[in-house]
Amino acid sequence: MKVLENLNFSKAIVELLPKLLGEALQIVVITTIVGFLFAIVFGFILALGRVSKKKALNHIIIVFQEFIRGTPLLVQMVYIYYVMPLFIEMFASIIGIEGFSVSISSMTAGIIGLAINYGTYISEVIRSSIISIDNGQKEAALALGFSNRQAMFRIVIPQAFRNSVPVFGNYLVMMVKDTSLMAYITAQEFLMVTKAYTAQTFLTIESYTILASVYLIICIPLSFVIRFIERKLNKGRR
């Protein structure tokens, strides 16, 4: 009962909430938007490689995908943030550039990690959507004088992207939540700010309850928007 008596939500709301809705929110929004856009572009490139007839390219992409899917996103972010600069410096030293130093900001590492990780999964969504398009549509386009490339980019891919939108939306919501992993590479996002505030005030219950509420306030409306877009797209198909 003493724990309940000592709860001070008003203090935590007044002190912590402005911090979460300030720079921390900016970091989360920018990382999510930029990371998601790069993930779609990267996933599209991988998907095109997977549906190509070049077996060597297919094998390389499959190995890469298995490597990414076989390691946690957190480990990938940590690797990009701490290890990649060392590899770059080592390579610079090998080619004769001495004293070369490089660092990757936590936000950049987070964006790269999210883009690569989610892009790998998105690539399979796009690939499946491309394969699911009736091959007769492509054949009809070729019969009308379209080149193979034109048929793919004007007929097949637009439909594949449209069919993939609902899954893209789910990945977007997941990415918002996965930005919390950036706390482990020192990014001042929601979790990192909350942990720092909790260490100073010991308002553990209040702080993490507010943190969870902020994620809910962002993700639930976003989910409704995605469902609305999905319904609109489904109506357009009828």
pLDDT tens-place values along the chain, 238 residues long: 555 667 888 899 999 999 999 999 999 999 999 999 999 999 999 999 998 888 899 999 999 999 999 999 999 999 999 999 999 988 888 887 877 788 899 999 999 999 999 999 999 999 998 888 877 777 777 777 777 778 888 888 888 888 888 889 899 999 999 999 999 998 999 999 999 999 999 899 999 999 999 999 999 999 998 888 888 777 655 5
Q: In terms of Cα–Cα distance, which of 185, 186, 137, 183 is closest to 157?
A: 137
Is this prediction's pTM over 0.85? Answer: yes
Q: What structural domains does the chain harbor?
A: 2-237 (1.10.3720.10)
Rounded distance between C-alpha atoms, residue 15 and residue 27, angstroms:
19
- Do the beta carbons of residue 38 and residue 119 sit within 8 Å? yes
